[in-house]
Structures are given as C-alpha cells and as structure tokens.
Amino acid sequence: MFKLAIVGRPNVGKSTLFNRLVGKRLALVDDQPGVTRDLREAEARLGDLQFTVIDTAGLEEADADSLPGRMRALTERAVDMADASLFLVDARAGLLPQDATFAEILRRKGARVLLGVNKAEGRQGADAAMEAWSLGFGQPIPLSAEHGEGMGDLYTALQTAMQEVEAERAAAAVDLPDDAGEDLEELDGDAFDDELEPVAPGAPEKPIQIAVVGRPNAGKSTLINKILGEDRLLTGPEAGITRDAISVEIDWAGSRMRIFDTAGMRKKARIQEKLEKLSVSDGLRAVKFAEVVVVLVDADKPFETQDLRIADLAEREGRAVVVGVNKWDLVEDRQGALKLLTEEFHRLMPQLKGAPVVPVSALSGEGLERLRSAILRARGRWEMRISTAKLNQWLGEMTSSHPPPAPGGRRIKLRYMTQAKTRPPTFIAFCSRPEELPDSYKRFLVNGLRRDFGMEGTPIRLNWRKGENPYEGKRKKR
C-alpha cells in the first residue's frame, strides 16, 4: 500500500492532519511544540484513495546524540520508508530558515515531496502559499488541517503521486526470459506440490493485542525494538521519552501481534503537566483495548507501589497479565532472585496469583522467547471456556469438601454454575441467599477455579444470583 510520511518543523500541524486523514484522534495534539516523538502509522482515506500515513516528530537541527537529534533520525527514516513525503510549513509563522534547511534534506534524499501550507485560512494563507514556491517543490497546497480546508487539492496531488509510484513499480518489474517456460516444464509437478502448504480458508486471524506498560524508564520501547529487530521506537536514557501509545504489528515467530508501547505511568500526584496527563490517558486507553498486558518492571527496583497499581488496573480491566522483569542481565543469583520475585508478586497481588513472571533483558534480547510463550499461554487462559457439566461437577465436589457457611443455623445452598462469557472468564452461580455468602467463601471458589482449571494469573469474574437452577425441568429444544 502507498505510504505517505507527514514531515515538517514542530507545531506545524502534522498530527492534526494525520488525525483528519485517519478519521479518528489517534495522535496526541497540543499547542506545545514537540509533542510527537515516535513514528505512528495508520490506515488513511481521502475520498476513494486508501493509503498508509505516517506521523513524525518535528524536524529540528540538533546534535545526533541528543533527544531531538534521535527524533530527527527517526523522521528521516520515515522519509526513506515512504513513497512520498508531505512537507508541511506554517502559513501563520511564514517560512523560517529551518524550512529551507529541511527542504534541502528532502532533496538530498531524493524524496518525492508534496508541499503543504497548513493553517492557510484567509488572505494570510494565500500570501504564505506564494512564498512557499521558493522551496522548490512545485505548487504549494494551501490547507487547514483543523478545519478540513484544502482536502480537494491534497486529493489531486496525492492521486497524481500514487499514479506515478504505480507506474514506476510497473516499469521496474523484470520480465521473465524467453526460455523461462522451458525451465518450468522441467520441474516435477508432484515434487513441487509437496513443497506447498495448504492455505486455511476464511479471513486471516486478527493479531493479538498487547500493551506494554510500566513506570518511566522501565525499558518498554527498548524491549519492543528488540522484539522487532530494529530501532523503530525512540529510546534513550531520558525518562518519559514515549508520549503517544504507539502500536506496531509484527509476526513474532509465527504469531501475529500488535504491540502498544505506552508512556511511563507515574503517581497521579506527580502528573502535573497537561501533556503528561494526555500521554498517561493514551496509555490507559491502550490497556482497555489490549488482550494481554505486559507489566514491565525493573529488576533492580521491582514491584514498587506504582508497578502494583498498574498490574491492578490491568486486572480490574479484565486483561490477561504477564510480568516482565527487565535488566535481568545485571542480576547475579538469577535462580534465587526469580523465585523470590515470583513469590513476592503473588503475595502482593493475590488476585493475579499464578501470573507468569518472566525475566528478560531488553538490551540483549535474553528471555524474549520465554516472554512470547508466556503471552500466548496467558491469552489462551483468558479465552478459556469450561462446559457447564464440568463446572457443576466441580461445584458439587467443592461444596462437599468445604460446605458453605450456615448463618443463623440455615446453610446456604449452592445450586448451579455456568460460564457466561470469556475474555476474561466470567461465571454465574445460583444460590439460596447470595447476599449472606461471605467474601472469603467467594474467594475460595475463585481460587479453586483458577487452580483446578489451569487459569492461573487470569482475571476471573464470579457473579451471584438468587434462585434455583434456571434450566432445571426445561427440555432442550430439538
């Protein structure tokens, strides 16, 4: 699919235009410059044109090792990845020396460039569009990303660029030599068929949604880069580099996954800036849409209060949880340390007892296969369904070995249990007086479900209803 990278100085409206083309608010937008730091990709539509659009960090002149310098390197990488770049300038600010500098960078790269003049409402916009001719990229496109003006002109320019790319690809296709057919005829048809694998019918399986969360500087972006095998996300020693919840899709050893990198989550009392509040809200939204949440903690300072709050949030949202212990390459007594960490987490988070605790090193890649396996197992438990017959047989055995209490001398009768849904496993139990059943006995049953049906570490919902077996005496329709 055709790829379009939106590039330009900070605060020229790149993320606003990105959101408009995507049709939803994916990228954070704020008046403060430099909000976007990572590359964000999404499927976009303009009229009948469908393409991939890439939001990028603002181009700044900076030392290569600095944070702005690393952001600029990612933006230049996006230009290399894209079929065309939409170079945005700001009509209100006018052309600045930086615009000319980055125009030269795009020329050196040989990029196909569309020139957009954003915030071009009114007479001032027309003047700025005339001035933008001096950048040497042909006719500027006056736009207002905020109000949706100029989308027709952008459509025309984008359509032309897409047709040019398609023509170039067709011209670059290599024709088979004249004797290619003879070589093909010599192949053993049966042997060739043996090499083919059958294609499963139906639509392709959706990727597993994974959110990687944790405190600032836990190594989330570094871990995802190591999984991807490339420096796709911005990293560095500075805490709080990631702001948006950035998603990347990958085939990880045969498993399709969409992994969300999120901003580091701090205590509410420490979150003061508006931008950081937006970043954390974006991360919380990623948790709500995830299937599996990887809570990444620092091996040197594991399970601080904020780590436990993040894990508790994931459990309350009903997500499968995997705990990743990063910087494991710095731990000396690994076997003993892992045992202590696992016991401590299960003691501190009894509602997630049995959740896998996986040691990893985002820097070296150690433990990545164990992490992948733990994610797949956690998701499998999260989607588990138990037959009603097995549940009621289990319920009878549990109540026989450990009868429910008898407040006021009248024993509470547990009559029936069924599973209402999965993701997470949710059950309904019917009993005579659910309002009098102690929480301790309810926890006893939840822990029994987790233990006896192999749902360790999975959030379990057990709801109570008053009454008899609702299906008793009813004949099944044929």
Residue (of 432, 429, 433, 424) closest to 444 by Cα position: 429
Residue 253: inside a domain, yes or no? yes
Question: pLDDT at position 285, please?
Answer: 77
Contact of 263 with 211, CB cutoff 8 Å: no
- 312-322 average pLDDT score: 92
Instruction: Identify the domain boundary among 382, 398, 430.
Output: 382
Contact of 224 with 212, CB cutoff 8 Å: yes
Phi, psi of 164 (to 5 degrees): -65, -45
Kindly list the distances between the CA atom of residue 204 and the CA atoms of 24, 201, 255, in Å, as whole numbers in the listed order. 25, 8, 12
Instruction: Quickly tell me which residue has 């939409």 as its tokens.
Output: 86
Residue 275 and residue 165 share a domain = no
Cα separation of the two ends of the chain: 50
Residue 449 and residue 364 share a domain = no
Instruction: Identify the domain boundary among 144, 172, 200.
Output: 172
Rounded to an integer, what distance in angstroms lies between the CA atom of residue 15 and that of residue 56?
A: 8
H/E stretch holding 105 reads helix 97-108
Residue 298 and residue 394 share a domain = no
Residues written for the chain: 478
Instruction: Quickly tell me which residue has 């037959």 as its tokens.
Output: 387
Mean of per-residue pLDDT scores for the chain = 80
Residue 28: inside a domain, yes or no? yes
Residue 350 and residue 284 share a domain = yes
Contact of 361 with 327, CB cutoff 8 Å: yes
Residue 419: inside a domain, yes or no? yes
Q: How do strand 255-261 and strand 246-252 relate by DSSP bridges?
A: antiparallel
Residue 415 and residue 302 share a domain = no
Residue 197: inside a domain, yes or no? no
Residue 188: inside a domain, yes or no? no
For residue range 211-256, what is the model confidence (pLDDT) as tens digits? 999 888 888 888 988 998 887 665 444 444 444 567 788 899 999 9
Residue 476: inside a domain, yes or no? no
Residue 214 and residue 89 share a domain = no
Residue 195: inside a domain, yes or no? no
Residue 191: inside a domain, yes or no? no
Place 274 in a pLDDT band, splitting at 50, 70 and 90.
Answer: very low
Place 295 in a pLDDT band, splitting at 50, 70 and 90.
Answer: very high
Looking at the DSSP assignment, which residues form a beta bridge with residue 85?
A: 5, 113
Residue 418 and residue 309 share a domain = no
**Burial of 112 by CB count in 10 Å (0-12 exposed, 13-18 middle, 19+ buried)?**
middle
Q: Domain residues for 13? A: 3-172
Residue (of 223, 241, 225, 231) closest to 322 by Cα position: 223
Rounded to an integer, what distance in angstroms lies between the CA atom of residue 13 and that of residue 128?
A: 15
Residue 83 and residue 10 share a domain = yes
For residue range 390-441, what is the model confidence (pLDDT) as tens digits? 999 999 999 999 999 888 888 899 999 999 999 999 999 999 999 999 999 9
Report residue 51 as tokens: 């393409």
Instruction: Identify the domain boundary among 335, 365, 382.
Output: 382
Amino acid at 369: E
pTM of this prediction exceeds 0.85:
no
Report residue 343 as tokens: 């016991």
Looking at the DSSP assignment, which residues form a beta bridge with residue 322?
A: 294
Rounded to an integer, what distance in angstroms lies between the CA atom of residue 54 and that of residue 43?
A: 9
CATH number at residue 287: 3.40.50.300
CATH number at residue 425: 3.30.300.20
Residue 322 and residue 429 share a domain = no
Residue 110 and residue 137 share a domain = yes
Residue 20 and residue 159 share a domain = yes
Rounded to an integer, what distance in angstroms lies between the CA atom of residue 47 and that of residue 432?
A: 60
Contact of 358 with 325, CB cutoff 8 Å: yes
| The total number of structural domains that make up the chain | 3
Question: pLDDT at position 124, please?
Answer: 67
Which residues, including other chains, have CB under 8 Å from residue 440's CB and lie 6 or more apart? none
Contact of 319 with 287, CB cutoff 8 Å: yes
Report residue 35 as tokens: 């909000």
Residue 334 and residue 221 share a domain = yes
For residue range 152-168, what is the model confidence (pLDDT) as tens digits? 999 999 999 999 998 88
